[in-house]
Structures are given as structure tokens and as C-alpha cells.
Amino acid sequence: MVMAIAIVFFLGIAAISYQLEVLSYLILTGFVILLFVNNKNRFLISLVLSFLIGFAVFMIANGFVETMSVPQELKIILNRLFLGFILIGIVFNHLLFKKKLVWYNRKPDWTNPIRLPFHQVNVFWFWLIGIAVNGIVYSFFIARQDPESIQSLLVFCLVFSLINAVFEEVIWRGIMLSALEECVSTGYAVAVTSIGFGLLHLAIGFPILLSLLIALAGVIYAVITLKTKSIYPSIVFHFVINIGMVYSGLII
């Protein structure tokens, strides 16, 4: 059952992203019905339902902003701020079930190693090398920009990168990951939050293959969060990636 819930959850994200209204309504209605007939997985069902409802409101709000005559940079910033609707939905769900809100809000613990098939690496060096490698890759895109373009995008880049990193990490690696860990296995929680994180990028026009590639980044963020027991390292990692995405032309 939990696997079916995950698959329909992913389908719901895709349906809402592509504005397939009939399919979206069917999925939401199906989860509502399931909420009353499946007591065993009620919190899990309610969690993904509240997420999808918040996501639907997110899409409606963005549709309204798209009709406004404002700069594209402002539309993108508002788009990221509207992720707050998803956050409100899942927080409300916790309050409804009287669940403690946990989102790894603590100082990072860098002592836990990451065990690879034939090697073991310190989580701090894994995190730092990951940031460095991505920084080097994106530096080639930045180097192709003229100084005026870099300067003109700087404020937007920093604001967008910070808002996006904080909201997405608090939603996925914070509340969703910790909530799922309570009722399913850690592997399931990582898979659902990572794939869901990737698919959410369909809503901003990313193709499906790129969205699934982003899901792999979600796995890395999740591992770092679980190993450090803190969301802050993944926020910093995500922030650096976002800067690269802006200057590589993927965002604007």
C-alpha cells in the first residue's frame, strides 16, 4: 500500500504541474476517500494529500502572477515564495494529527561517516567536495558571462538562491523526510522525498529527464541531512547549486 501511495503521489505532482485538471481532481479525491478507509496509513495519506493541496494552491497563485505586468525576476521570486503554501499545508497536517514538527533544526554533527561500497568517507569532506565539484562545473558557465551580466544578476541570484534553498530543503529534507521516517523506512522516506523533489521542478518548466536528474541531487541532500542530523549543510549545498543554475541560464 505504501508503495502505491508513493506512486500516486508522484503522479499527482506531475498532473498538477502539467495542469491536468481532471486527473488532478481524481487523484485528490482518491486520497480523500482513502483517508477515511485506511486507518493504518492515515497520517501518510494525509501528509501527501496536504502537500498536493498546497501544491495546487501554489500553481493557482503562480498562474495569477503570470498575468501581471511585472519583471520576470520578480515573478520568479514570487514563485519561490509561494512554496510557502506547500509548507503551510504540511505544517497544518502535523497540527491536525498533533504531531511534533521536526525539521532537523540543529547544529550539524560531522562525525558520522558515509559508507560507500568499497570506501568510507567523512561526511564533512563529502559535503565540501560536492560543493567544490559543482562550483568548478558552474564556474565555466559563469566565466562565459560578461562582467556586466554577472553584476546585473547578482542581487536576483542571491535572493532567489537563498529563498529557494531554504524553502525546498525545509519542505523536503526537513518536514517531509522526518515525517515519513516516523511511519515508513528511511530508504522509502529518502526515495519519496528525492523523487518528489525532482518532479516538483516540472512546475517551472524543467523537462522530465532533468527533473529526474535533480532527484539524484535530492538523494545527496537527504544523505547529508541524515548523517549530520541537520538541515543546514544541505541548505548551503543547495544554495551553491542554485547560484550555478542562475548563471548557467536554467532559471532566467
pLDDT per residue as tens digits for the range 15-42 = 999 999 999 999 999 999 999 999 889 9
User: What is the C-alpha to C-alpha distance for residues 33 and 230, in angstroms, rounded to an integer?
Assistant: 36
Nearest to 110 by CA among 135, 134, 130, 127: 127
For 134-162, give the DSSP string. HHHHHHHHHHTS-HHHHHHHHHHHHHHHH
Confidence grade of residue 144 (pLDDT, cut at 50, 70, 90): confident
Q: Is residue 180 pLDDT above 80, yes or no?
A: yes
Does the residue 109 lie in any domain? yes
Does the residue 252 lie in any domain? no
Average pLDDT over residues 55-77: 95
Helix residue spans in the chain (DSSP H): 2-17, 21-37, 42-66, 72-81, 84-96, 123-143, 147-169, 177-183, 186-199, 208-228, 232-247
Does the residue 188 lie in any domain? yes
Provide the number of structural domains found in the chain: 1
Q: Is residue 223 pLDDT above 80, yes or no?
A: yes
- pTM confidence score: 0.95
Tell me, what's the pLDDT at 77?
96
Does the residue 28 lie in any domain? yes
Does the residue 90 lie in any domain? yes
Tell me, what's the pLDDT at 173?
97
Q: Is residue 206 pLDDT above 80, yes or no?
A: yes
Mean pLDDT value across the chain: 94
Which structural domain, as residue segments, surrounds residue 73?
Answer: 2-247
pLDDT digits (tens, 9 = 90+) for 156-174: 999 999 999 999 999 999 9
User: What is the C-alpha to C-alpha distance for residues 25 and 40, in angstroms, rounded to an integer?
Assistant: 24
Does the residue 116 lie in any domain? yes
Confidence grade of residue 252 (pLDDT, cut at 50, 70, 90): confident
Average pLDDT over residues 112-140: 89
Q: Is residue 116 pLDDT above 80, yes or no?
A: no
Percent of the chain with pLDDT over 90: 84
Does the residue 174 lie in any domain? yes
Instruction: Return the C-alpha cell found at 120.
Output: 568510507
Average pLDDT over residues 179-203: 96
